[in-house]
Amino acid sequence: MKTFSIALLAAAVGAGVALLIAPQSGDKTRRMIRFKAESYAKDLRSEVNANAAALYKSGKQGARRALRQLGKSLKPIAA
């Protein structure tokens, strides 16, 4: 999380410097920033969805293993 915060801060500083020395018009620069922000948001959504799917799959497998183990433990008691 700390690395992500540092990267986000560095990106913000870089964007600020770029705005100060940009050779383009403000309108063109705003369109470029909007496009990049939307692109990053799309990538972030994809990454979050992939991680959520992997976490769900891992949890599902863990729950199945726990239920199997519980079933094995309860068989001698029920018999």
Q: What is the pLDDT of residue 61?
A: 93
Question: Rounded to two decimals, what is the model's pTM?
Answer: 0.47
1 within domain boundaries: no
13 within domain boundaries: no
Calpha distance 35→53 (Å, rounded): 27
Into how many domains does the chain fold?
1
11-47-56 Cα angle (round to 5): 145
Q: What is the pLDDT of residue 73?
A: 84
Q: Which domain holds residue 67?
A: 25-79
Q: Any residues with CB less than 8 A from the CB of 32 and at least 6 apart, and which? A: 24
Calpha distance 43→38 (Å, rounded): 9
pLDDT per residue, tens digit, the chain (79 aa), is: 778 888 888 999 988 887 788 777 878 878 988 999 999 999 999 999 999 999 999 999 999 999 999 888 887 776 6
47 within domain boundaries: yes
33 within domain boundaries: yes
5 within domain boundaries: no
Q: What is the pLDDT of residue 79?
A: 61
Calpha distance 19→55 (Å, rounded): 39
15 within domain boundaries: no
